[in-house]
Amino acid sequence: MAAAVEESAPKRLKSDSCGGARGDDGDGETNGGPAVLSPVSGFKTERVLRDSAREKTVFVHGKMDEQEAVIILEKTPIRQDTLEDMLKASTLKLEMKNDIYSTYQLQAPPHLNEIKTTVICPATEKHVKKYLRQETFLIEESGDDYSAITLPYINSQSFSVQWVYNILEKKAEADRIVFEDPDPNVGFVLLPDFKWDQKQLDDLYLIAIAHRRDIKSLRDLTSDDLPLLKNIQKKGLEAIQKRYSIPPSKLRVYLHYQPSYYHLHVHFTSLDYEAPGCGVERAHLLSDVIQNLQADSHYYRSRTITFPLRADDALLLKFKEAGKL
């Protein structure tokens, strides 16, 4: 059963060429207030990229106003604080009854039956691939492989980080910021990841985004960056303890390698939540990263790092072409 988080106002959606949603590359929007437009009502489904009955999610590729779009629908957990209201206000349809056992279809009132919806529009081919269920392969990338294969690929192909700059410049999500240290060298912005609807703490997920724009990923870090990493660790944990009363011992704090977005950011997730991408093949605990850099300033520049790539990832092809797979 999910413990609740204080209610936050639903977002107002601005109308634009994607029927109300904003793409990765546009300006952000930060308005609160009631929802007024439904950008997904005109969505034309092309194909389901991935779905999971267990996670109650579906990732769909389609078109919105002639633009490529991806929508992600996710049934949200049942919340303890609204349970009583839900049981009182719902209608029940009996499915079967046998001795002491009976099953029903419960129809909850709409406000207690929300589906978290993420819209990416216009979506690029890379977004579509990111969400397509795919076979994955482990790559072992040496420091030299990074310079020769990965870095040129990142420079030519990576996702736009415009959404990150919008956050840092308060052009988007400013009202969602949980904590900010504005220092240009060691500062960062801490805010809810867009995977978290902030309705319950069980799946708490925040990201700390560094103000510095010159660090692409784990690979770039040296001991010179320790003050930044330690600052994110200390102040990020303090801010989460203060806002959500969750102690550091209940949080998983890590960096992804490879990340999807090449601007340094750190993931803070509830230890009890198996967040996508928290497995050993992709997540690097911030405390380990700090210790490794303390032991060897060039640890992440020189060591071989293992990570998964999807079958149709163009980077996988580059490693194949280089005879590395």
Residues serving a catalytic function are 265
Write down the least CB distance from residue 165 to ligand M7G, Å: 11
Structure tokens at 314: 């163009």
273 touches ligand M7G (CB under 6 A): no
In angstroms, the CA 72 to CA 282 distance is 22
Among 186, 207, 210, 251, binds ligand M7G (CB under 6 A): 207
In angstroms, the CA 236 to CA 320 distance is 39
Contacts of 320 (CB under 8 A, 6+ apart): none
254 touches ligand M7G (CB under 6 A): no
Total count of residues recorded for the chain: 325
In angstroms, the CA 188 to CA 212 distance is 8
256 touches ligand M7G (CB under 6 A): yes
52 or 91: whose CB is closer to ligand M7G? 52
Using the Cα atoms of residue 234, residue 239, residue 245 and residue 246 in order, give the sign of their dihedral: negative
Q: Identify residue 315 by its one-letter amino acid code.
A: L
Please identify, among the stretches 40-48, 74-82, 182-190, 193-201, the one whose residues bind ligand M7G according to the rule CB under 6 A: 193-201
Helices 286-295, 226-244: crossing angle, 10 deg rounding? 160
194 touches ligand M7G (CB under 6 A): yes
Write down the least CB distance from residue 173 to ligand M7G, Å: 6
In angstroms, the CA 173 to CA 192 distance is 9
Kindly report the number of other CB atoms within 10 A of residue 156's CB atom. 8
163 touches ligand M7G (CB under 6 A): yes
Q: Report yes or no: 194 and 51 within 8 Å, Cβ to Cβ.
A: no
217-232: b (≥16 Cβ within 10 Å) or e = bbbebebebbebbebb
> How many of the chain's residues bind ligand M7G (CB under 6 A)?
13
Q: Give 172's DSSP letter.
A: S
95 or 214: whose CB is closer to ligand M7G? 214
Among 185, 260, 302, 306, binds ligand M7G (CB under 6 A): 260
Give, as ranges, the residues between 24 and 43 that touch ligand M7G (CB under 6 A).
24
In angstroms, the CA 235 to CA 237 distance is 5
Write down the least CB distance from residue 96 to ligand M7G, Å: 40
Write down the least CB distance from residue 90 to ligand M7G, Å: 32
39 or 259: whose CB is closer to ligand M7G? 259
Write down the least CB distance from residue 192 to ligand M7G, Å: 6
Q: Report yes or no: 8 and 23 within 8 Å, Cβ to Cβ.
A: no
Write down the least CB distance from residue 104 to ligand M7G, Å: 35
195 touches ligand M7G (CB under 6 A): yes
Give, as ranges, the residues between 285 and 314 that touch ligand M7G (CB under 6 A).
none
207 or 309: whose CB is closer to ligand M7G? 207
Residues contributing to the site for ligand M7G (CB under 6 A): 24, 163, 173, 191, 193-195, 207, 256, 259-261, 277
